[in-house]
Amino acid sequence: MRALAPELLGFAVAGSFAYAADLALFVWLRGPAGLDPFAAKSLSFLAGCTVAYAGNAIGTYRTRTRPAPSPCTGRAARTPTPVRTPAFVRTPALVHTPAHVRIRRYAAFLAVNFAGALVQLACLGVSHHLLGLTSATADTVSGAGVGMALATCLRFWGTRTLVFRHAGDIPVQMVSKADKG
C-alpha cells in the first residue's frame, strides 16, 4: 500500500482539479450561459474528464511513456527516441507520446469515466426506485456518497490498468534512471 500511496495521491489531486472544473463550468453553463441541465452537464463532464486526463498523463502516470502493445503483433509500436536533455529542462511525458496513442488513451479514459458515471446513476436508481428511499438526503447519500465512492474506485482501477496500463510492469525506479540518461 505504501508504494501505491503516491499514485493514489496524484490521482486524487488530478480528480480534485477535474471536479472543480466540472462544477464551475456546470454552474456557469446553467446560470449565466442559460443552457439546459443535460447540455450543461455533458459539456462540464467532458471538461472535467479532460482536466483529469491531463493531470494524470502529465502528473500521476508521467513515467508510463511506452506505447501500448499492438493488438496484432503484441509488441509496442516504435516511437521516436526523445532527445536527451538535462533534468531541469525535461518536458512532460505527454509530449513524447505519439498523437494516436494519446487519442486512444483519451478515448479509453472517457470510457472509464463514463462507466464511473453509470455506477453513480445505478446507485441512485437502486436507492430511489428499488429501495424507495426518495428523500433529497437519501439521493445525496446514494448518488454523491456511495455512488461516488464506488465510481472513484472504478475510475482509479480503470485509469491505472486500462488507460496507462502498458508500462505498469516497469518499476518507476527503472524509468527514472532511464530518463536521467
pLDDT tens sequence for the chain (181 residues): 787 899 999 999 999 999 999 999 999 999 899 888 888 899 999 999 999 999 999 999 988 755 555 556 555 555 444 444 444 444 455 556 788 888 999 999 999 999 999 999 999 999 989 999 999 899 889 888 999 999 999 999 999 999 998 544 444 444 444 444 4
**Alpha-carbon 1 to chain mean position:** 20
- Count CB neighbours of 66 within 10 A: 16
Task: For cell 501505491, name the residue.
Answer: 4
The crossing angle, in degrees rounded to 10, of helices 37-55 and 99-125 is 130
Question: Ramachandran region of residue 160, left (φ > 0), alpha (ψ -120 to 50) or beta?
Answer: alpha
Tell which residue, 24, 63, 60, has the closest CA to residue 44: 24
Q: What is the pTM of this model?
A: 0.71
